[in-house]
Structures are given as C-alpha cells and as structure tokens.
Amino acid sequence: MQFGIHLLGLGRRAAVADYITVAKAAEELGYHSVWINDHVIIPTQHASHYPYTADGRPSFTPDDSFYDPFVLLAAVAAHTKTIRLGTSVAVIPYRPPILTAKAVATLDVVCGGRFIFGVGVGWFAEEMELLGVPFKERARVTRDYLDTMKALWTAERPRVPGSQAQSSEVGFLPKPIQKPHPPLWFGGETRAALKRVVQQGDGWFPAFVSPEEFGSKATELKRLCAEQGRDFSSLTLCAFPANRAFFTLDAIRTYRQHGASILLAPLGSAKVEEFTAQMQQFRDEVMSPAGEI
C-alpha cells in the first residue's frame, strides 16, 4: 500500500510557499502523491448540498482561498522531482475542454509525466451555473469534454467541435508525456460515478469512505466492469478516507483486499511545521508498518 497527502489539510489560507514546503517534505518522506482540490468562484448564498458533511454544509467560505490547481501544481512541480501530483478533483464542466486539455498537457510536460488527473462532475450548482454550465447537464458535459480532451491528447490531427455542428481539424502540441494521456481517476461514490469510471476512467478515487463502504462500492464497480467487458484489474483505486480511525492495519488490509493501492493520509494543520510533523509521525506509525500490505 502507498500513501498520499491532500494539501487541503493545510487549510484555506495557506500560501503558495506552504504548499511547496509540504510537498517537498512529503517527497523526502516517501509519500506517493500530493493533491489539490478545485473551486473557481464561491457564491455567498447557495443551497447546494455538500455531499461529505452530515448537515450538507461545506467546510469552506467565500473568504477562503482556492488556487487554480493546474497553476499551483506547476509551481509544486518546479520544486519536486519524483512525487506524483494530482487534482482532487478537477470539476470538468468548470472550464472549456480545449483550455483544460492544454493546461493538463502543459502540466504533464512541466512535471515530467507525474500528473494524475482526478476528475469529477461537480456538486456545487450555483458555482457551476455562474461558470456557464447548467447543473443538470453536468454529466453529459463531462463525458463530451473528456472525449474532446482525449482526442487532443492522442490524435496527430485531432478534430474538435465547432459551431453549427461542424468540427475542425487542428494541431495540438505539446502532447502529454504520459501515454496515451495522464491517468483519469474519477471521484464519486454513486452508481452513476462508478459507471463513469468504467466507461471513461483509468481509476476510481472515492472520498470519506470507511473500509466497509469502500468494499461494497468496489464490489459494485467490479460487477459493472464485468458487465461492460472492462478489466477491473486495469483500474487504479485510491481512497481518501479522511478519518484516522480508518487507518489501523486491519482497516488498511480491508481497503487493499478490495483493490485499493493508494490511501490519502488524514492530516491537517494550518501551521506548516505541525503538518510536516504529522507527516513524519504518520510515516513512522502507519505508512512504514503498512508498506507490505
């Protein structure tokens, strides 16, 4: 089992230098990856239900900072050499697909092929509407946008949608270093999310799941793979449990038995020194003993 770090744990007011410091420390301590989440604009009034709290209220406010994940990860890439860099998760409908494809390809070149493209359809209706995409269309938009991105990343002369149902042949360079493209790991735990993993993804990236919940959903994912003729073993499964109680050796074994190969550590402190100390402690108490699981 390998372990990653979600940089969300640094809080909503972290400076770019803080992210870089923690990412460098994570690399030195042997962590697999570091991750950045994705919001663009935060409405001061909204009714959307946040899926990861009991009362449906998000843990952030309009006064918190959200860096563009591709730009921030490029900065992190410049100060690291081996650790993988991921989005957790990039909301695909938020940006035009050609621009996202360019950002992803550029980032993969900048980091030397270390980027993992964690993706999702989004939950924040008001934010999505402000960015020009009807919330009810987000699943279709995500599917279409990813098809466009894949064409741009892989085809020598890709065709992209144009106006009046026409398409245009274009040049698109540089291509990503990773072939055929950076791995696409879908977030989400619903049946619809699992179907997206099977149909378009290279991995599954659920959040806030207990070992038992993960096992149940992984079994469902395996069943969907069989129905669609997809090899379950070709998928990478990475979980973000976000609960220290889920990191006993027995719990880690359960995640592993159901296909997980990467877990994100449940760390958090707005002070860089404390966060780094937590990484060290987690490495010694959990990561090292679990390395052979």
Specify the pLDDT at position 248.
Answer: 96
Alpha-carbon gap, residue 245 to 241, rounded angstroms: 9
pLDDT tens per residue across span 201-212:
999 999 999 999
Q: Which fold has domain 2-290?
A: TIM Barrel (3.20.20)
Confidence band, pLDDT 50/70/90 cuts, at residue 256: very high
Instruction: Name residue 210's amino acid.
Output: S
Specify the pLDDT at position 60.
Answer: 85
Scored b (16 or more CB within 10 A) or e, 188-208 reads bbeeebbbbbbeebbbbbbbe
Specify the pLDDT at position 253.
Answer: 97
Specify the pLDDT at position 227.
Answer: 97
- The answer to whether 177 and 108 have CB atoms below 8 angstroms apart is yes
Scored b (16 or more CB within 10 A) or e, 38-68 reads bbeebeeeeebeeeeeeeeebebeeeeeebe
User: Higher confidence at residue 53 or residue 136?
Assistant: 136
pTM of the prediction? 0.96
Alpha-carbon gap, residue 248 to 114, rounded angstroms: 29
Specify the pLDDT at position 91.
Answer: 98
Taking residues 219-247, what's their average pLDDT? 96
pLDDT tens per residue across span 146-192:
999 999 999 999 999 876 668 889 999 999 999 999 999 999 999 99
pLDDT tens per residue across span 44-101:
999 999 988 888 888 888 999 999 999 999 999 999 999 999 999 999 999 999 999 9
Q: Tell me the average pLDDT of the chain.
A: 95
Specify the pLDDT at position 61.
Answer: 87
Alpha-carbon gap, residue 86 to 127, rounded angstroms: 22
Residue 167: other Cβ atoms inside 10 A: 12
